[in-house]
Structure 1
């Protein structure tokens, strides 16, 4: 009996998320098809023109927009950004520096600072435990 490996497939939405692109902006064939793991790997290794264009100019999905602006996805929503944005629109927001964006960037900076502090505290606690454990 031969064990035949089944081809792993994913929905277009999942593939788009893994590729970091906005699904409605992808070609119809991509949106209506099924993507295999091998096809996804090929798209990542050698992106076609449409994928390079989407990654460069958008429209970008909210996680990418949030990362480019230096805020959280929730921060985008609080700022009223609920749709995908193009690179040009993101750059315009960076230039305009609206109050909500500055506030959300500051909030995100505090969140990162606190996460780093907690990580350092955890690391220090672990080191103390390792040093203390060998004294018995």
Structure 2
């Protein structure tokens, strides 16, 4: 007698995080159900139009916004950005280049330089 394998499932919030999309912008069907590992793999391999559209135009979750701006998530908070932004809003912020964004980019660049320096000095 073999035990039946139950498919591994996750909450929609976890699946949205893994897909890099803002949960509240996903279709109701996605938000209200559970997502199996196979469904997640299928969404990643062949994204439906709604997923391609969200990835292209947003709204994007904070980690994606931070990455697109070249700053940390903490830097977003310090800059007063607490909500999801669309690609258009991100591009407008980049074009406007407010002082806080330039400071955060400089801070992030310094953090990366320091991390690279530490990596070089550590013995293998």
- TM-score band, normalised by the shorter chain? over 0.9
- 1:28 Cα deviation after fit: 0.2
1:67 positional shift: 0.1
Counterpart of 1:106?
A: 106
Deviations 1:1-34 (A, max 9, x none): 1132210000000000000000000000000000
Distance in 2 (alpha carbons) for counterparts of 1:92 and 1:56: 15
Which residue number corresponds to residue 58 of structure 2? 58
Give the TM-score, by structure 2 length.
0.98
Aligned mates of 1:65, 1:71 — CA distance in 2: 9
Q: Which residue of 1 aligns with 2:68?
A: 68
- Unpaired stretches in structure 1, ≥5 consecutive residues: 127-136
Give every structure 1 segment of 4 or more consecutive aligned residues whose post-TM-superposition deviation is greater than 3 Å: none
Please show how residues 1-136 of structure 1 align to structure 2 within 5 Å.
Answer: 1-122=1-122, 125-126=123-124
* Count of paired positions: 124
Counterpart position of 1:132 = none
Structure 1 vs Structure 2 CA RMSD: 0.6
* Structure number with larger C-alpha Rg: 1
Q: What do residues 84-114 of structure 1 show as CA deviations (whole Å, max 9, x unaligned)?
A: 0000000000000000000000000000000
Q: TM-score, normalised by structure 1?
A: 0.90
Q: How far apart, CA to CA, are the structure 1 residues paired with 2:49 and 2:93?
A: 27
